[in-house]
Amino acid sequence: MNILKLLNTGSEELRVKNIFSHRIDSEILLSNVLNKKREELLINLDEKVSINKTKKFQKIIFRRSLKEPVAYILKKKEFWSKNFIVNKNVLIPRPETELMVEKIVNIFEEKDIFILDIGTGTGCILLSILSELKCAKGLGVDISSRAIEIAKKNLQKLKLPNKIKFDVKSLNEIYGYKFDLIVSNPPYIMSKDIKNLEEDIKKFEPKLALDGGNDGLDVIKKVIYKSKSILKIKGMLALEIGNEQFKNVSKILSKNNYRIKYLIKDFNENIRCVLSILEK
Ligand SMILES: C[S@@+](CC[C@H](N)C(=O)[O-])C[C@H]1O[C@@H](n2cnc3c(N)ncnc32)[C@H](O)[C@@H]1O
């Protein structure tokens, strides 16, 4: 079969399974099998593909047709212009999280700060910030040992000059440090809403990374309380939150002596990140 035929059959197989991104997914998966850029595929549509590669492509199209995310199939996801290793034990980094990274990089520029990332997953937030703030150092923790394995692999891959450590720890177990900045994208979906998520997410992404308890605020609250004892006075807490959580989160923050300094809206105009200062 040639490239065009494979792209079309792959795309059609995904389309009939109601995968909205069927065409682009087919292109991305084939470009990965053939180790060519997508643009290269599109200018070589007549090129013949070997039987082995055709079978490989058909296999991964089948996986995608069962709603497995492309990032898990390819074991990588681009975030902050870097390829992060991912697998089913970590949340796939999301573009809206880059908005928080961008703001933090702008605020702290060349500063020599100590950063904690709670619920680090792939390590994407901490590693991206540290790739920009060369004088800063950081600690990333996650309750999932399998997530920390992936964060450590990403650290090795990115070869950053900073002092960086990843530890398997629940946020309750962080003692003996004082940070200038704490960042966290905690699980924030209400338990009852998990069943309504897209199949790609609810069937494949780790529940531990999604489930924020009855009101979606369980881990967010813990991060806010814990940060009071491990953040320097005037230190910053940067939190990613879910849709419609801002009202409650802002109340919890002000009750706990934080002053909201910046809000970041996502691509749908929802308040997605709250950056606040610990006043006392
Ligand atoms: C939404 S994911 C965020 C992953 C990554 N930071 C990102 O933005 O892509 C939340 C992460 O928090 C971790 N987590 C959940 N509860 C935790 C706890 N009590 N202490 C530490 N980490 C926790 C999960 O294992 C998961 O990796």
CA quadruple 51, 57, 63, 65: dihedral positive or negative? negative
110 pLDDT higher than 90: no
For ligand 1, the distance from its centroid to the CA atom of residue 255, given in whole angstroms, is: 24
In this structure, are 98 and 177 located in the same domain? Answer: yes
In this structure, are 189 and 112 located in the same domain? Answer: yes
| Token pair recorded at residue 224 | 């806010």
Mutational test site, ligand 1, from 173, 219, 272, max ligand atoms within 8 Å of CB: 219
For ligand 1, the distance from its centroid to the CA atom of residue 129, given in whole angstroms, is: 17
Mutational test site, ligand 1, from 141, 208, 223, 226, max ligand atoms within 8 Å of CB: 208
In this structure, are 241 and 102 located in the same domain? Answer: yes
In this structure, are 134 and 245 located in the same domain? Answer: yes
Cα separation, 139 vs 161, whole angstroms: 14
Residue-range definition of the domain harbouring residue 18: 3-66
How far, rounded to the nearest angstrom, does the alpha carbon of residue 67 sit from its chain's CA centroid? 19
**For the residues 193-210, what does the mean pLDDT come to?**
97
Q: Which of 205, 264, 221 is nearest to 118 (CA)?
A: 221
Specify whether the CB–CB gap between 230 and 199 falls below 8 A.
no
**For the residues 53-78, what does the mean pLDDT come to?**
98
**For the residues 24-51, what does the mean pLDDT come to?**
96
36 pLDDT higher than 90: yes
Q: Which of 120, 47, 123, 111 is nearest to 84 (CA)?
A: 123
- Report yes or no on 111 lying in a domain: yes
Q: Write the CATH number for 234.
A: 3.40.50.150
In this structure, are 106 and 191 located in the same domain? Answer: yes
In this structure, are 45 and 145 located in the same domain? Answer: no
Structure confidence by residue, pLDDT tens digits, 133-153: 999 999 999 999 999 999 999
In this structure, are 62 and 94 located in the same domain? Answer: no
In this structure, are 59 and 179 located in the same domain? Answer: no
In this structure, are 58 and 87 located in the same domain? Answer: no
Task: Give every strand in the sheet of 137-142, ordered side by side.
Answer: 164-168, 137-142, 114-118, 179-184, 231-240, 271-278, 258-265
| High-pLDDT (> 70) share of the chain, % | 100
Model confidence band, residue 2 (pLDDT cutoffs 50, 70, 90): very high
| High-pLDDT (> 90) share of the chain, % | 98
Identify any residues that bridge with 277 across adjacent strands, giving them in sequence order.
236, 259
35 pLDDT higher than 90: yes
162 pLDDT higher than 90: no
Structural domain total, the chain: 2
- Report yes or no on 72 lying in a domain: no
Last residue of a domain, one of 20, 40, 66: 66
* Helical ranges in the chain per DSSP H: 3-15, 22-34, 38-42, 51-65, 70-74, 95-108, 124-132, 145-158, 199-204, 207-210, 218-230, 246-255
For all residues of the chain together, what is the average pLDDT? 97
In this structure, are 162 and 240 located in the same domain? Answer: yes
What is the full DSSP assignment across 134-203? TT-EEEEEES-HHHHHHHHHHHHHHT-SS-EEEEE--GGG--S--EEEEEE----B-GGGGGGS-HHHHH
Pocket lined around ligand 1, Cβ cut-off 6 Å: 91, 93, 97, 118-122, 124-125, 141-144, 147, 170-171, 185-187, 208-209, 219
For ligand 1, the distance from its centroid to the CA atom of residue 133, given in whole angstroms, is: 23
CA quadruple 143, 148, 150, 155: dihedral positive or negative? positive
Residue 94 has a pLDDT of 98
In this structure, are 105 and 207 located in the same domain? Answer: yes
Q: Write the CATH number for 62.
A: 1.10.8.10
| Token pair recorded at residue 41 | 């595929």
Tell the residue nearest (CA) to atom 8 of ligand 1: 185
Model confidence band, residue 51 (pLDDT cutoffs 50, 70, 90): very high
Tell the residue nearest (CA) to atom 26 of ligand 1: 209
In this structure, are 98 and 118 located in the same domain? Answer: yes
Q: Is 79 helix (H, G, I), strand (E, B) or coil?
A: strand
- Report yes or no on 249 lying in a domain: yes
Q: Which of 55, 57, 89 is nearest to 72 (CA)?
A: 89
Q: Is 45 helix (H, G, I), strand (E, B) or coil?
A: coil
